[in-house]
Amino acid sequence: MRDAVVAARRVVVKVGSSSLTGPDGRIDAARLVALVDAVAARRLAGTSVVLVSSGAIAAGLGPLGLATRPRDLATQQAAASVGQGALVAAYQSAFGGHGLTVGQVLLTADDVTRRAHYANARRTLDRLLDLGTVPVVNENDTVATHEIRFGDNDRLAALVAHLVHADALVLLSDVDALYDGPPSRPGARRLEVVAGPADLDGVVVKGSGSKVGTGGMTTKIEAAGIATAAGITTVLTSAEKAGEALAGDEVGTVFLPTGSPRPSRLLWLAHATTPRGRLVLDDGAVGAVVGRRKSLLPAGITAVEGSFGEGDPVDLVDADGRAVARGLVNYASDELPPMLGRSTKALARDLGQQYEREVVHRDDLVLL
């Protein structure tokens, strides 16, 4: 079951804020060095490793005199700005002790759902790995707004695993495995293997993370689901057992693949974006988009909801309001109402050739 981790040529490792920082919210050098030692050993054994690391906001708390993670976006961005440099400097120093170089990669969801940006992110990461570096990936908290946030780095790690075509994903937490109830409860049982969603029936997951992080066990289960659905073996364990997990030892919980690889950018579109609006489709358009995988044309749209710009993600919903797909729209919300129910040829004749394009092209559309 863990052979895939041992044999993996590319591995993504994710570590959370609470695994890197002490009680005062500052980076705990000993914890960070222990993590780096484990990752470096795997890298020096010939495996390409991408490290998805939280901790920028947490690392900025102490220097800014903040006791807990701020709630407002502006202060979060300020803390990230202060903490990001300290975090990367700490990684560079620790990996440098092993003769390895790190490369910082900061992402927002917007960076990797738009086609050109996605290709650039993938090319950059591939080149960093080819050059033997350890890319350190984090959400770009300094500029990310609520609309373009991943929300947690567990999901980001699963999506990065798709982006770099990783063979395995290791999610590091404060807890050494997934249990069928709160680990502190007497009799709580560790789940050694999760072969599919049915194995999670009856599992009670509580808690939303620590005072310095945003994720909890729920986000890790969701991230494992994203990764395994595309054929990536996932291991969940504590940061203290990172070396054992990477060596394929029987630690933590292993989530077995339930599907096969699929186009990565569409996974980002489905899992990393927040829709800015909705397009209501008639039955014919739903059939074309869902059944025949066609592009969405204005003739099949009956209503426009929300305010969005060209290139923004929108949900495509049926007459009952059920979301059937998500896509990147080619028109702003204020442009669409006069176009509804009309053919592209009629629009091109009356408004110009620029209106002969799809509202959502099938290459920028994912079924939900």
Per-residue pLDDT tens digits for 316-338:
999 999 999 999 999 999 999 99
Strands 313-317 and 277-281: parallel
Q: What CATH number does domain 275-367 carry, 2.30.130.10, 3.30.420.40, 2.60.40.10, 3.40.50.970?
A: 2.30.130.10
Section 61-86 average pLDDT: 85
pLDDT of residue 180: 83
DSSP of 258-279, one letter per residue?
A: -S----HHHHHHHHS---SEEE
pLDDT of residue 262: 64
pLDDT of residue 42: 97
- Is 37 part of any known ligand binding site? no
- Is 126 part of any known ligand binding site? no
Per-residue pLDDT tens digits for 172-225:
988 899 998 878 788 888 899 999 888 888 776 654 444 444 446 888 998 999
pLDDT of residue 215: 47
Answer whether residue 358 shows pLDDT above 70.
yes
Answer whether 0.85 is exceeded by the pTM.
no
pLDDT of residue 26: 74
pLDDT of residue 212: 40
What's the CATH superfamily of 3-269?
Acetylglutamate kinase-like (3.40.1160.10)
Do the Cβ atoms of 59 and 124 come closer than 8 Å? no
Q: How many residues does the chain have?
A: 368
- Is 173 part of any known ligand binding site? yes
Structure tokens at 176: 């050494």
- Cα dist. 109→42, 141, 221, 258, 290 in Å? 29, 11, 20, 25, 24
- Is 120 part of any known ligand binding site? no
pLDDT of residue 334: 95
pLDDT of residue 147: 44
pLDDT of residue 141: 63
- Is 141 part of any known ligand binding site? yes
- Alpha helices by DSSP H, 251-328: 264-271, 283-286
d(C-alpha 59, C-alpha 19), whole Å: 12
In the structure, what pLDDT confidence band is assigned to residue 69 with cuts at 50, 70 and 90?
A: confident
Considering the chain, what is the average pLDDT of its residues? 87
pLDDT of residue 213: 42
- Is 22 part of any known ligand binding site? no
pLDDT of residue 210: 44
- Is 345 part of any known ligand binding site? no
Per-residue pLDDT tens digits for 17-53:
888 887 776 788 999 999 999 999 999 999 999 999 9
Residue of higher predicted confidence among 111 and 104: 104
Residue ranges per domain, the chain?
Answer: 3-269, 275-367
pLDDT of residue 73: 82
Per-residue pLDDT tens digits for 118-151:
788 889 999 999 999 999 998 876 665 554 455 5
d(C-alpha 350, C-alpha 323), whole Å: 31
Section 257-285 average pLDDT: 83
User: pLDDT > 90: what percent of the chain?
Assistant: 53
d(C-alpha 205, C-alpha 216), whole Å: 9
Answer whether residue 311 shows pLDDT above 50.
yes
Helix axes 56-64, 73-96, angle to 10 degrees: 110
- Is 330 part of any known ligand binding site? no
- Is 214 part of any known ligand binding site? yes
- Is 207 part of any known ligand binding site? no
- Is 201 part of any known ligand binding site? no
- Is 220 part of any known ligand binding site? yes
